[in-house]
Every structure is written in C-alpha cells, then in structure tokens.
Structure 1
Amino acid sequence: MGAPTLDSLDLQIMQALQLDGRAPFSRIATVLGVSDQTVARRYRRLRNTVNVRVLGVTDENRLGRQSWLVRMHCTPDVAEQLADALAKRPDTLYVNLISGGTEVVCGMKPRSRKERDELLFDRLQRTPQIVTVTAHCLLHSFYGGPLGRLNKSNALSPGQETALRLPPPVSPDAPVTLDEADKALLAMVRRDGRATLTDLQKATGQSESAVTRRLENLRSTGVLYFDVQYDHGPLGQDVGAMLWLTVAPRALADVGRSLATHPEVHFASATTGQANIVASVHFRSPDELYTYLSEKIGALDGIQAVESALILRQVKQLSYEPTR
C-alpha cells in the first residue's frame, strides 16, 4: 500500500492542534468553517493513518533543570540494543540511530545532578561496547519546544492562526515547584495530551475544577506545552538529518535566528562543545539535503564547519514509549 494522502483540511487540523493541543473540536471546527463531526472524524483517521498523537511535554528549563544532548559511538552489534534501552528510560526525550548504525543520539532531561552523573559517568562509560560518550548541555533554544514543525506548514491563514493560538506563557521569576498532583497530571498528559478531564481527575484524585486550574497554571507558566507527533513520510519528510554547526561566537545568535526561519528546521539550539549549534532537519530526498547544505547553510555568515548525519531510525519521540 502507498503512503496515505493528506489534504489541506488534514494539515489545518494538525496545525491547529500544534497551536493548542487541547483545543475542543468545536473550536477548531468553528475556525475552519466545518462541522464538529468532520474534525472528530478526520482526527480519528489521522491517528490511524499517520499516527498523529498529541502529547504533553514538560519544559525542563521552567523547573530549573538542564536539558542535554548525548552522542554515543558504539560497536555496530550493540547500537540498536542501546537505543531501545535508552528509549525506555523516563529521562530521555528522544532517541535517534544515526551514522551507519554506529552512533546513538538522545535528548536527556535528568531530574537531578545525581541522575545525570549516574548515567553519563557510570552506566554509559562502563558499557564496554560504547566507544565514546559526549554530553552537550543545551544553552538556548532557537526553534523547537512549543514551536513545532507544523507551525511552518502555513496550512492555516494568519487569521485562523490568531484565533487558535494561546496567549504566550509568562516566565516565572523563579523555577516552578511541582507537587504530587502536578506530577501525576503531567505524567497523564505525557501519554495522551487530549486525555479527558474525567481521566485526569482519576489520575490525580482532584476535582474537575482543580484539574482545570492546574492545567491552566502549568500552561500559563510554560511548564507544560503540547506537541503533535506524526509519521513524516506523508508530509514529504522521509529524510531526516542532524546537523552540528561550528559557528563563530559573534555570529551565533544571527545563525540561530536564521535557522529558526528555515522551513526545513524542526529544532535548533545553541549547545556546549566544539560544534555550538545542533539542528534537526527533514527533507524529501538526500538531494534536497545537499541543496540545503550548499545553498542555505553555505550562505550563512560565521559558519566555520558543518557535520551532518542521516537519521536511520527514530527510536523514540517525545514520549515514554519507543516508536517502531
């Protein structure tokens, strides 16, 4: 069977959910000028055909925590096993198998320095099949998080975007502290961002009004945002790659801002290490990747070196469950 075909309404619904992952179908329907039943039916079809999922994601920076990108070069016989094991850990955000199947890259969100050190300096370093481990702290996000790839699809008109977009979160003066009910709520929406209030009540033991109030507080402080995950193929994004850019310090901010405007870029961040910007990009073909590197990246002032690697398999996206 061929890849499913998505039409303009499908893309509009997906972008609407990226803007507000818990938007009622009735609100989306009103903005798009269709019926509630049409939106609900299309959403069910998108779940079945391109694995669309809305997931709640925690912004670790708002909790006073650091996010890390870890690169592991290993022997070919252990790469997939290592990737699968990392995907099952609750402190990994995503896991990619790249570079001819001998390198695993994962995003980490350790909840404490102890957890970070235990993984980086103990478990991984003592695994004999792992040749090298390098850990890079993400310093500043240029694109990613609540700004998903679907926001660049232009499926919605500017007016429709304005009608669906939530107010921007307010940065708290100090790191947000979570209680047990908050943690239970975040764990539930991490598995299903559109979980019903009834399900959230059961998971937290809170009343409907308390759940609603907690959700609003977590979202308004930026601790919680929602991401739409999907199979990239039907949207012409079969070829994924990671880029490590070495940029002159004077040009770091300008290059980062430029990357954020590129439709091909799903994620870009300043990072520690010799390569001081990391980016995730998607294309229809390797030839498009070549054109992007030679024309768009090549045109940016201040870039001193570029390392690129194709993503062979995305083992885990922003969830606890490995993807196959």
Structure 2
Amino acid sequence: MESIDRRLAHALQIDGRAPFAKIADVLGISEHTAARRYQRLKEHGIRVRGALNRFRLGHHAWTLRLRCTPDAGPVLAQALAKRGDTFWVHLMSGGTEISCLQQVKSPDELLLDRLPRRLVDVSAHNILRGFVSPGTWRGIACLEPGEAEALQPELEPEPAGELTPLDEALLKILEADGRASFAELAATTRTSESTARRRVEHLRRSGVLELQLDADPARFGFATQARLWMRVEPRHLAQAGATLATHPEVYFAAATTGPANLVASVTCRSGGELYQYLTGRVGSLDGVRETETAPVLRTLKRVAMGEDDASSYQT
C-alpha cells in the first residue's frame, strides 16, 4: 500500500466523517486527491462504516467461543455473520472453531439455545472492560502526533437516551456507508438535512454511533491473525490489559468473565512474528498464568457485512 493511502486510512480511522477538505489540509494533498484515493480504498475493501454501540444503550457485550465439527464450521460462521447483533465473526483453527462478539439487552437473548447440535463445546463470556477496540488499532498509525491531533473530532459528551425510528434508519444507512452525506441521509429517511445532521451528531456525541475503518489487516501487510485467551491473576488484570493497549499488534482486548479472563485479537506480518510476539511481549506480562492461541483462518464479518462480503462466503 502506498504511503499516501496508509496516511489517508489512518486519518479516517481517527475521524471517519472528517471532510475531505480537512483531511487534505492535514495530509498536504488536494481535496480531489483525498476523495479519489478513498474511492480506490473502497474498491479494495477498505471503507468507513458506522457501528451501533449497544453498550451505551444499556445492553451487554459478550464474546462467544464455539468448537464444532469441521463440516459445520463454515456454515455456522456464515449464519452468525448474517445476524444483526454479531460482530467480528472469525473462523479459526482450520475451520473447527468460531469466535464472535454479540451485544444483547439481557443474557436471555444470547443465541446459545439456537445453535446446531454439531457443536463440540460452547462458552460465553461477558465483557467487563474494554482495553483496545478495532477503531484504535495502533498497527495502522503512521501520522505525526500533530497531524493526528488536528483530525480529532470535537465531540462534547451527551447522554444516550432512547433511539427514535429516525435514529434507527440513519444508523442502518451509516452501517453500510459511514461517510454518507447529510443530504443523502435526509433524502433516504425523508427528513430535513438539518435534522439528519443534528441526530447524527447526537448519536456520535452519546457514543451510540461509532465510526470504524472496516479493513482487513492483511491489506496493510498483517497477514497472520490470531485470537488469544489468557488466564491472568486478578491483581494483574488491569495492568495486563493496559499494557496490551500499547501493543501495535493488538486490535482488540478486553477483560471478561470466565477462566480465561483476558481476551485479545492480534495481527502480525507472519507466523514468525506472531511467535516472537507471544514468547516476548505476551510472555513478559506479569500475572499471565496461561495463554491459548487460535489462528484465524477467515474473518466473515467485522463491523458489518455488505453485499460484497456476503457474496464472498457462499458455501
């Protein structure tokens, strides 16, 4: 990937709805070049998507781990990816294991009772504290501190409140295209442009709407991905999570319930680099008693599944 595209991707990770004029000014390119380069990124599967953070609405976030027979893995993973309440659906360990995130109003809504019988084992862990989210992945970072600071959105926090039908309609559009213009949003939802702007800005300030750069890390040279489950002594858990947050290899990390109380997703350039990361940086964390690693074979869903994604995983 060319340097300018990587810099543009980092800019969009910081503020996915920043005007191209502002991005161009920070990057030292023309507005036309910024818009054209983003269109090219989209053609390569890199785009800004809106993500509904149900946690801000009082919902619960869970990470699920499913072990299944080899013939069931791809079909089940695809079915999970099509659900509206699942994210980051990974097919792992040669197709015999799946992990995903699910956000639900209550634990009663977990999909565990609706899973097929060809599962060998299922475990569900409530996410207690997040340390790293894909939107803050350091592996993509390449802008100077001053450039990154200039792109930070100025959003005064607001309480979330209840979602209105208009909010839900706007979120659905932004899930597909996080940079949809206010004019497009207004026309599609049959409201005024000023109302669309006001509601989107409220959703962002309340944290209900998160803008994420939806991209396969392999596009940036990180071809090896893995899921880690770590058993950490409780007194070391907070520090271990905070330390993981400083590692550019980590694009997700959270403290959870269960025996493995720290889960992380990591991405490296090669298997050798993953080995060095596990034996060096993870191995040096205080309080880590045990680490289990599962290589990611395929990611069927990240923030959302679009038409291109769906057509890529027909079985």
Q: TM-score range by the shorter chain?
A: over 0.9
The aligned counterpart of 1:162 is 149
Runs of 4+ that moved beyond 6 A: none
The aligned counterpart of 1:30 is 25
Residue 184 of structure 1 aligns to a residue in which SS?
helix
Task: Please state how far the C-alpha of 1:135 moved relative to its aligned partner.
Answer: 0.7
Task: Please state how far the C-alpha of 1:114 moved relative to its aligned partner.
Answer: 4.4
Amino acid at match of 1:244: W
The aligned counterpart of 2:140 is 153
The aligned counterpart of 1:82 is 76
On the 8 A contact 2:63/2:126 being kept in 1, the answer is yes
In structure 2, C-alpha distance between the alignment counterparts of 1:80 and 1:154, rounded to whole Å: 32
On the 8 A contact 1:97/1:105 being kept in 2, the answer is yes
In structure 2, relative to structure 1, the CA distance for the partners of 1:114 and 1:245 (3 Å cut) is: closer
Q: Which runs of 5+ in 2 are unaligned?
A: none
Amino acid at match of 2:37: R
TM-score calculated relative to the size of structure 2: 0.94
CA RMSD of aligned residues (A): 1.6
Q: Which runs of 5+ in 1 are unaligned?
A: 1-5
In structure 1, C-alpha distance between the alignment counterparts of 2:165 and 2:134, rounded to whole Å: 24
Amino acid at match of 1:133: V
In structure 1, C-alpha distance between the alignment counterparts of 2:11 and 2:71, rounded to whole Å: 42
On the 8 A contact 1:57/1:225 being kept in 2, the answer is yes
Amino acid at match of 1:248: E
In structure 2, relative to structure 1, the CA distance for the partners of 1:113 and 1:253 (3 Å cut) is: closer
Residue 202 of structure 1 aligns to a residue in which SS?
helix
The aligned counterpart of 2:219 is 234
Aligned length: 309
In structure 2, C-alpha distance between the alignment counterparts of 1:8 and 1:243, rounded to whole Å: 30
The aligned counterpart of 1:138 is 127
In structure 1, which of residues 178, 183, 193 is the aligned counterpart of residue 178 of structure 2? Answer: 193
Task: Please state how far the C-alpha of 1:254 moved relative to its aligned partner.
Answer: 0.3
Identity of aligned residues (%): 45
Amino acid at match of 1:123: R
The aligned counterpart of 2:6 is 11
Residue range with higher mean Cα deviation, 228-237 or 83-92? 228-237
1:156-182 residue CA offsets vs partner (Å, 9 max, x unmatched): 11111111011356263xx53111111
1:116-136 residue CA offsets vs partner (Å, 9 max, x unmatched): 2xx22x212xx2211211111
Pair 1:98 & 2:123 matched = no
Written as runs of structure 1 = structure 2, the 5 A alignment for 1:213-224 is 213-224=198-209
In structure 2, C-alpha distance between the alignment counterparts of 1:29 and 1:23, rounded to whole Å: 10
Residue 195 of structure 1 aligns to a residue in which SS?
coil
In structure 2, relative to structure 1, the CA distance for the partners of 1:222 and 1:169 (3 Å cut) is: farther
